[in-house]
Amino acid sequence: MNENVSKPYVFVYKCVIGAGRTQDGFGMEFGVNHLGHFLLTLLLLDRLKQCAPSRIVTVTSLLHRFGDVDFALLDQTKDLVRGENSVTRFMAYCHSKLCNSLFTRELANRLEGTNVSCFCVHPGVVRTELGRNSQWWMNALLTPISRLFFLDPEGGAQTTLHCVLQEGLEPLSGRYFSRCSVAQGSAKSRDDALAKKLWEVSERLAGI
């Protein structure tokens, strides 16, 4: 962090992919990648408003384009997929990244006029330990590919840092960024009705 930066920021960055359930029984990707970040941000909102101008940066993914939100399934299973195989967990990750994008859109709508802005970013395909809990054969397949074609962590941080530090981005609150520029998210990620419903369901699931 630049020592000269005095504005408050929330980094909603941690994400996981893999099987399992959270302590509250939610599917791991949905519970960690979306619901936990949703709750944390809401708990900090009053402070962010007091300290405005401030920014909230949520890390989504290009894979949000493959995502969907099945509210009936979520109510039944506390997850966005059925099953624990590699394909369903990958899809759960895609669904959770769509949730990140929808959360940012609805958050921007609710924060209009507060001098708190928010952005969601696709950092690029980065060499991280995101898949450390995946099956061994998947890691064996992806490791050589990642070393050849994926961004290193420094390169993968650039779009996030752009949304944190670049001056004059406030009018773009709620938008999706990739490669340090505004990009077009999927049609579902720009659906205000879907974003509002996800917000309301998330409030209920988080006990707010």
pLDDT score at 147: 53
- Residues 58-77: what's their mean pLDDT? 94
- Which pTM was predicted? 0.82
The answer to whether 7 touches 54, Cβ cutoff 8 Å, is yes
Q: Are 87 and 24 in contact (CB under 8 A)?
A: no
pLDDT at residue 132 greater than cutoff 60: no
13 is catalytic: no
Q: Which fold has domain 9-205?
A: Rossmann fold (3.40.50)
pLDDT at 208: 84
Report residue 98 as tokens: 């769509």
Q: 71 with 204: CB under 8 angstroms?
A: no
Catalytic residue among 9, 13, 93, 176: 93
Summarize pLDDT for 27-64 with one digit per residue, the tens: 999 999 999 999 999 999 999 999 889 999 999 988 99
Average pLDDT, whole number, for the chain?
A: 84
Judged by phi (left if over 0) then psi (alpha if -120 to 50, else beta), residue 134 lies in beta
